[in-house]
Amino acid sequence: MFDNVPGRGPIGSGGQPILQLESIVSHYGDALALSNISMEIRRGAIVSIVGANGAGKTTVLRVMSGVVRPTEGRLLVDGEHVRNPTTSDLVRRGIAHCPEGRRIFPYMSVHENIAIGAYTVRDRRLVEERFSFVYDTFPVLKERANQLGRNLSGGQQQMLAIARAYMSGPKVLLLDEPTLGLAPRIIHEVAELVRRMRERGLTVVMVEQNAEIALDIADYVYVMAHGRIQVAGSAAELRDSEVIRRVYLGL
C-alpha cells in the first residue's frame, strides 16, 4: 500500500524515470535541511510534495533545479548522473523551476517577462511556437502583453510565472507553492492549468501546502517533515487513508 521507508517514495506513473534523487543530504550552513531523500519521478506524472513549513519541500525543488548543491547523494536526469549540476545546465537538460512567490520582473512588460524564459533557446521558430501556445493558454496574458508585470493580479502573475517557465521547453516543470495566496476560484484554474501542461507531455513536480489540491491533482504524493520523507504513495491511497489525512496532512 504505502511506501513509508524513510527516504524512499513512489516511482511515478507508467513512464520511464526522468528525474531521480538518490540519498540526497543537504545543509544550510551547519543546519541539516534534507536527510537521505530519494525520489524517482516518472515521465508524464504529476507528483506533489506536501508538508508543513520547514519540512524541506522547497529545498528538494532547489536541488532538482541546481539552485542548491547537495552535500551528499546523486541527481539523475534521464538516467544520467549530473555531476556538479548548475541551474543553466539543468535548464538545458529540460528542468524548469517556477519558484515560490512568482518572482516576475515587475517593471518589465508581460511579453518581456515571458520572453526571458526562452533565453537558452536558439531556434526562433520554437520560440514563436511557444509564444503561440502560451497566449492561447493564457488569453489574459495576450491581452495584457504590453502592460507591466506589476499591474497583474496575483493569479495572473502566477500564470505569467508558469508561462515564463514553459518557454524554455521543459521536460519537467517544478512548481513551488503555485496556489499560495490565491482566491479559491483561481486556485482551481491553476490546478486545471497543471493538468493541461501534463497533457502537453510535461512531467510536473509540485510543492503544495494545500493538501486537498495536492491530493486532487497528483498521481503520487510525498509527505515530508523535518527534512525527511515520512509517507509516500499514490494520491488515491492517501486520499482514502484517514490516518494519513489526519496525522500527516491535518485534514
Place of cell 492561447: 136
Q: Beta strand pairing status for 72-77 and 46-50?
A: unpaired
- Number of neighbours of residue 52 by Cβ within 10 angstroms: 14
The 10s digit of each residue's pLDDT in 185-230 is 888 888 888 888 888 889 999 998 888 888 899 999 999 989 999 9
The 10s digit of each residue's pLDDT in 90-120 is 988 999 998 876 688 989 999 999 998 888 7
Length of the chain, in residues: 251
> Which among 187, 215, 181, 208 is positioned nearest to 58, based on CA atoms?
208
User: In the chain, what are the domains?
Assistant: 17-248 (3.40.50.300)
How buried is residue 3: exposed, middle or buried, by Cβ count under 10 Å (0-12/13-18/19+)? middle
Predicted local confidence at residue 52, as pLDDT? 84
- Please give the residue that has the higher pLDDT: either 249 or 18: 18
How far is 204 from 47, CA to CA, in rounded Å? 6
How far is 55 from 110, CA to CA, in rounded Å? 33
With DSSP H G I counted as helix, E B as strand and the rest as coil, what are the percentages for the chain, rounded to 5?
35, 25, 35
- Supply the pTM of this predicted model: 0.86
Run of H or E residues at 166? helix 154-166
Mean pLDDT for the chain overall: 87
> Does the pLDDT value for residue 2 go beyond 80?
no
